[in-house]
Amino acid sequence: MFKMEPETKKRKGMEYDPDSWHVLPVLSDEMSDDVKLLDAYAAPITDKRQTSRLVKDLSVVHPLADLHHIKRVRACKDKSSPHPLEVIVCLVSDVSVPTTFVTQHQRPASLTDLLSSKDFNFEGLGEPFPVRIPARAPLTRPQFERASRHWPTSFHEDKRVTLGLKGQLFTSRQKAKIQEYMTTAVEAARSGREEGMDAAGAVIVDPKSGQIIAVGHDLTRDHPLHHAVMVCIDLVAWAQGGGVYTYEKHPACRYTASDPQLYAGHSETSGSEGSVQPYICTGYELYVTREPCVMCAMALVHSRISRVFYGAASPDGALGTKYKIHCQKELNHHFDVYKGVMRQACEELTPFK
Amino acid sequence: MRTDHTESDVINGSFHQPSDSEVQRWMSSAFNMAIEALENGEVPVGCLLVYNNIVLGKGRNEVNETKNATRHAEMVALDQVLEWCSHRDLDPKEVCKHTVLYVTVEPCITCAAALRLLNVPLVVYGCKNERFGGCGSVLDISSGDLPDTGTSFKCIPGHRAEEAVDMLKTFYKQENPNVANPKVRKECVSPAGGTITTHTEAAPHEDDVKMAVSD
């Protein structure tokens, strides 16, 4: 087994322009899809002084239980309007307006249709009109902006997500570091290709120290399941005193062993080494030239990886394309995924069929 | 006991359904492997890969001893099949095309994808894998539309399912010998996945705490 040489070789590194690619987060469907809309009735508030009373009374008749994100009252869009405020009366699904009204008489629903309660005080409320309101709270700024065009909603912004979507999450120094690791993965992919393997490479990094723990490339000609990620996971196991396969024939596949000095003192005391020694890929980051397949993506869940960066998408990819295993609700571990790192260089390695 | 696959089975790529006695026989062997895993402090999952009535691979979970979270029973057994093929200079995918997997617990998502990549056509299993299952419980990788990930496969679930669940329960009740200082313990049934240590591991990382609590 090769131990990794310290990085004496100077990185050619800037072979790629870091400005030529963008890192984009791969978000869950919930975060990336458009927010669905519900049909509702709103009405103008013709007497502003009645606003708080109307909101209170309406919320008794139609509480809009699952729509806490909806702001019940909005300022009227049209500034020249005689009534400055509008209020949500109810969802279309909250009431059963006789269809005859609409089909035969072309008459829209009236307040009495919507507020059947006998003692409702209609004072200050104008005739209802249909609107569409967001069915759930927006999770990202783009969703918030689109949702707000229909009706105002509350929004608890995740600044990291907002920056991520604008491609501004990483500083130029961080981006240079990401590029350095991905360059190592690209070089590994090329070494693999020279051996007749698929041109896919991967690097596992401990972000706390900045140290590369494992470098691997595809070995499917030796073993049909040895995708670059599977190779790296086993190399990390080697680094921790485990491991299954040998890689002598493949010098580009290498690892850095955990420093036994660092952990020696702790493991002798209460035998609580579990909390001190590195545990599979917990806390580690993966840089991989192409989007992992289902097998590799789930192997990363089992291995507790903390973040994944990839270059090119894969047709059956499981971190964005076919599945989003990194944010699959039922699974017990989730991680952040970013795509587009050195995209062109990675796509050139993996031409789409 | 039925006979081996006929020539035409092989040519058509069709596959005979194993008889009850075959299922019983191979599954009982898979259960023995699961017991062995249990005795070695690993998640009790055992399996067999059977080709033409020959056992080409046997495996049990060995995640803890290898520190590799992908060393599930299926992966261990598949390695033996590959070795068997390499000694005979046979194409593993051609051999796997006529191989049945007998496993005590529904394969996880990783293993289901691996079985696809090797073209295994049929999986007979015991209990469901609610946490990681790749044959319908969490995702349906076995029959998913994945043209770039081998071929889909069929499943025959439920053989001695209760027994398989009981073994998992036994495992999760006992102390995990690999973790000295368990901070979180859960009395839940958590089938085969990688890393049993999740439940009991001292959890320094915020995500781990969240994970353990939400299990």
Instruction: Look at residue A261 in the predicted model and tell me its pLDDT.
Output: 55
Q: Do B75 and A225 touch (CB under 8 A)?
A: yes
Q: Do B132 and A272 touch (CB under 8 A)?
A: no
Q: Which of A204-208, A276-280, B128-132, B149-153 is predicted with the least confidence, judged by mean pLDDT? A: A276-280
Question: Residues B98, B52: contact at Cβ < 8 Å?
Answer: yes
> Distance between CA atoms of A306 and A58, rounded to whole angstroms?
47
Burial-class residue B141 by CB neighbours within 10 Å (0-12, 13-18, 19+).
buried
Tell me the chain A residues in contact with residue B68 when contact means C-beta distances shorter than 8 Å.
233-234, 237, 242-244, 280
Q: With bands split at pLDDT 50, 70 and 90, how would you rate the model's confidence at A95?
A: confident
Q: With bands split at pLDDT 50, 70 and 90, how would you rate the model's confidence at A209?
A: very high
Instruction: Look at residue A107 in the predicted model and tell me its pLDDT.
Output: 65
Q: Which of B38, B33, B35 is nearest to B48 (CA)?
A: B33
Q: Which two tokens stand for residue A272?
A: 């609580």
Q: CB of A198 within 8 Å of any CB in chain B?
A: no
Instruction: Look at residue A272 in the predicted model and tell me its pLDDT.
Output: 44
Instruction: Look at residue A79 in the predicted model and tell me its pLDDT.
Output: 73
Q: At what angle do helices A294-302 and B109-117 cross, to 10 degrees?
A: 150
| Whether residue A54 has pLDDT greater than 90 | yes
Please state, in angstroms and as integers, the Cα–Cα distance from residue A175 to each residue in A95, A256, A339, B168, following that order: 54, 23, 13, 45
Q: Do A316 and B148 touch (CB under 8 A)?
A: yes
Instruction: Look at residue A15 in the predicted model and tell me its pLDDT.
Output: 64
**Of A168 and B75, which is predicted with more confidence?**
B75
Average pLDDT over residues A275-302: 92
Q: Which of A268-272, A276-280, B98-102 is predicted with the least confidence, judged by mean pLDDT? A: A268-272
Least CB–CB distance from B138: residue in A304, A316, A328: A328
Q: Which two tokens stand for residue B141?
A: 């990788």
Average pLDDT over residues A181-190: 98
User: In whole numbers, what is the pLDDT of chain B averaged over residues?
Assistant: 81
Q: CB of B146 within 8 Å of any CB in chain A?
A: yes
Tell me the chain A residues in contact with residue B70 when contact means C-beta distances shorter than 8 Å.
230, 233-234, 299, 302-303
Check B42, B62, B74, B201 and give the catalytic one. B74
Instruction: Look at residue A115 in the predicted model and tell me its pLDDT.
Output: 86
B65: nearest CA in chain A? Answer: A242
> Distance between CA atoms of A278 and A214, rounded to whole angstroms?
13
User: Is B162 a known active-site residue?
Assistant: no
Least CB–CB distance from B110: residue in A241, A299, A334: A299
Q: Which of A105-114, A148-157, A281-290 is predicted with the least confidence, judged by mean pLDDT? A: A105-114
Average pLDDT over residues A248-266: 76
Instruction: Look at residue B70 in the predicted model and tell me its pLDDT.
Output: 97
In chain A, what percentage of residues exceed pLDDT 90? 73
User: In whole numbers, what is the pLDDT of chain A averaged over residues?
Assistant: 88
Instruction: Look at residue B201 in the predicted model and tell me its pLDDT.
Output: 35
Tell me the chain A residues in contact with residue B211 when contact means C-beta distances shorter than 8 Å.
332-333
> Distance between CA atoms of B69 and A295, rounded to whole angstroms?
12
| Whether residue B7 has pLDDT greater than 70 | no
Question: Residues B110, A302: contact at Cβ < 8 Å?
Answer: yes
Q: Which of residues 10-39 of B touch A (CB under 8 A)?
A: none
In chain B, what percentage of residues exceed pLDDT 90? 69
Element (H, E) at A307: strand A307-312
Q: CB of B140 within 8 Å of any CB in chain A?
A: no
Q: Which of A62-71, A92-101, A256-265 is predicted with the least confidence, judged by mean pLDDT? A: A256-265
Instruction: Look at residue B196 in the predicted model and tell me its pLDDT.
Output: 37
Instruction: Look at residue A101 in the predicted model and tell me its pLDDT.
Output: 54
Please give the DSSP secondary-structure letter assigned to residue B211.
Answer: H
Tell me the chain A residues in contact with residue B201 when contact means C-beta distances shorter than 8 Å.
274-275, 279
Q: Which of A222-236, B7-21, B170-184 has the highest mean pLDDT?
A: A222-236
Element (H, E) at B165: helix B161-173
Instruction: Look at residue A23 in the predicted model and tell me its pLDDT.
Output: 92
Contacts of A296 (CB under 8 A, 6+ apart): A227, A228, A229, A230, A318
Q: Which two tokens stand for residue A197?
A: 């393997």
Q: CB of B86 within 8 Å of any CB in chain A?
A: no
**Of A111 and A230, which is predicted with more confidence?**
A230
Q: How far is CA B143 from the centre of its chain?
A: 17
Q: Do A233 and B179 touch (CB under 8 A)?
A: no
Q: CB of B189 within 8 Å of any CB in chain A?
A: no
Question: Residues B19, B2: contact at Cβ < 8 Å?
Answer: yes
pLDDT for B189-198, tens place per residue? 444 443 333 3
Average pLDDT over residues A225-244: 97
Q: CB of A270 within 8 Å of any CB in chain B?
A: yes
Residue A217 bridge partners (DSSP): A201
Average pLDDT over residues A271-282: 66
